[in-house]
Amino acid sequence: MGKIMQIEEINILDCVPFRDNPFKIRNDSDMEMLVDSIRKFGVMYPIMVRPTYDGMYEIISGHRRVHACRKAGIDTVPALIREMDRDEAIICLVDGNLHRDSLLPSEKAFAYRMKVEALSHQGKTSVQVGQMSSRSYVARSAGESESQVQRYIRLTFLIKPILDLVDEGRIALTPAVEISYLSQPVQLQIANIYDQMEITPSYSQSVQIRKLSESGHLTEDRVKEIMYQPKANQKEYIRLSSERFSKFLSRFRSRDEMEDYVAKALDYYGRHLQRLRADRDSR
């Protein structure tokens, strides 16, 4: 690492997000708790930044704290300013966030890829751990198998609409990996079929589509024919507008929690309507 400087109080306006930061900031209940804590007690732990050529500070650790400070109306934040190159910064960024709960598949995917590439640029893994590859080193440090890390990295080759479906739990990891080997036009066709019919390919269907693609025999009609085949485990989904329902559901971390809340709300409302009808009929 480069030279470590002392902790300084820096202006929030001088802090810029890390370029290509794979970790998303969510305005959920955890963020509201962080904002409330910062309002009451200030920032308990300094963020980490590196100076940029234009006099700004690129955030390496502390994106959520900076965001919370902005929401809380706080102008400055304590920061550990460290001079380092981009590869060193990527490794710090990834290592400092992989421990977080409820990481999305896309967050892991781009984080693993960025760290593998950073280690490869540095050429350090062979010195640190014998002849271990960068991917093996990342897998061991993350507590994953190398094959699982490779599966996640394949997700970075998905178009955004497909990757969003993976994050939402509508497409599982294994079929998503198969889809990642398809061309962007074919991926887009799969996304369009989902938009029209709300169906996604199973693992076996994804394998069929990939094999046909690699053999040069894949057509739009064959993609539709394969995806329209009934699947025993295909679930029905109801879409909810994020704009309309975010104020009710933003505090939940997982889809299961959201579904449970919506189901209870509908049950409560159904019983409320029954009571209204009973009151009306008794008059």
For 96-137, how does the pLDDT look when each residue is reduced to its tens digit (9 = 90+)? 898 887 899 999 999 999 999 999 887 754 445 455 688 888
Count of CB atoms within 10 A of residue 137's CB?
20
When mean pLDDT is compared over 42-56, 177-191, 216-230, the highest value belongs to 177-191
Task: Name the burial class of residue 120, with classes exposed (0-12), middle (13-18) and buried (19+) by CB atoms within 10 angstroms of its CB.
Answer: middle
Domain coordinates of the chain in residue numbers?
Answer: 1-84, 85-157, 159-227, 242-278
**Whether the Cβ atoms of residue 191 and residue 161 lie closer than 8 Å to each other:** yes
pLDDT value at residue 206: 96
Task: Report the pLDDT averaged over residues 68-90.
Answer: 94
pLDDT value at residue 1: 47
* 61 bridge partner residues: 48
Task: Name the burial class of residue 265, with classes exposed (0-12), middle (13-18) and buried (19+) by CB atoms within 10 angstroms of its CB.
Answer: exposed
pLDDT over 60 at 139, yes or no: yes
pLDDT value at residue 203: 95
Rounded CA-CA distance 263/277 in Å is 21
pLDDT over 90 at 191, yes or no: yes
Task: Report the pLDDT averaged over residues 183-198.
Answer: 95
First-to-last alpha carbon distance for the chain, in angstroms, is 79
Considering the domain 1-84, what is its CATH architecture? Alpha-Beta Complex (3.90)
Give 146-181 pLDDT, tens digit per residue: 999 999 999 999 999 999 999 999 999 999 999 999
- Whole-model pTM? 0.76
pLDDT value at residue 247: 67
Task: Report the pLDDT averaged over residues 45-67.
Answer: 94
* 50 bridge partner residues: 58
φ, ψ of residue 22 in degrees (nearest 5): -80, -10
Could you tell me the two tokens for 12? 């929030």
Rounded CA-CA distance 1/23 in Å is 23
What is the chain's mean pLDDT, rounded? Answer: 87
Q: Produce one character per residue of 72-109: b if its CB has 16 or more CB atoms within 10 Å, e if not.
A: bebebbbbbbbebebbbbbbbbbeebbeeeebbbbbbb
pLDDT value at residue 64: 95
Higher pLDDT, 118 or 255: 118
pLDDT over 90 at 95, yes or no: yes
pLDDT value at residue 201: 95
Residues 6+ apart with CB under 8 A from 150: 135
